[in-house]
């Protein structure tokens, strides 16, 4: 980034994100779950599969595949440490999506 004012504004945004309740909760939950490497590995497997399904081309069986994934990992997601982490991650991701959508909308980027 060559424009110093843009870099400064970007760093202020990053600082605000780091101070947000959503990010702080996400970091806290991430650190907690990382303390159990096997559990964290299983959660990452679920996250990876979920991401791949959500980013796959929409097909007739996408909903069916998502339901199968939910069933396969239901017992994992019932573990409080896992559900707390996934909820924190979802909340943080939604916050970042809203910020991105606002930027795109305000810049009339098409």
Residue 88 resides in a domain? yes
Q: What is the pTM of this model?
A: 0.85
Whether 31 is in a domain gets the answer yes
Q: How many residues appear in the chain?
A: 110
**Looking at the 3D structure of the chain, how many domains does it have?**
1
Domain membership of residue 1 (yes or no) is: no
Given a contact cutoff of 8 angstroms between Cβ atoms, the answer to whether 29 and 85 are in contact is yes
2, part of any domain:
no
Residue 67 included in any domain: yes
pLDDT digits (tens, 9 = 90+) for 12-39: 999 999 999 999 999 999 999 999 999 9
The residue range of the domain holding 86 is: 20-107
For 91-98, which contacts have Cβ atoms below 8 Å and span 24 or more sequence positions?
A: 91/22, 91/25, 91/26, 92/22, 92/23, 92/25, 92/26, 94/22, 95/17, 95/20, 95/22, 95/23, 96/17
């Amino acid at each position: 980034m060559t424009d110093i004012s843009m870099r400064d504004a970007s760093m202020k945004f990053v600082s605000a994100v780091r101070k947000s309740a959503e990010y702080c909760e996400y970091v806290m939950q991430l650190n907690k779950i990382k303390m159990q490497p096997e559990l964290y590995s299983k959660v990452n497997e679920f996250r990876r599969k979920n991401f791949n399904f959500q980013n796959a081309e929409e097909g007739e069986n996408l909903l069916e595949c998502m339901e199968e994934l939910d069933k396969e990992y239901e017992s994992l997601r019932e573990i409080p440490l896992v559900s707390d982490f996934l909820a924190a991650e979802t909340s943080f991701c939604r916050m970042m999506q809203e910020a991105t959508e606002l930027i795109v909308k305000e810049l009339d980027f098409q």
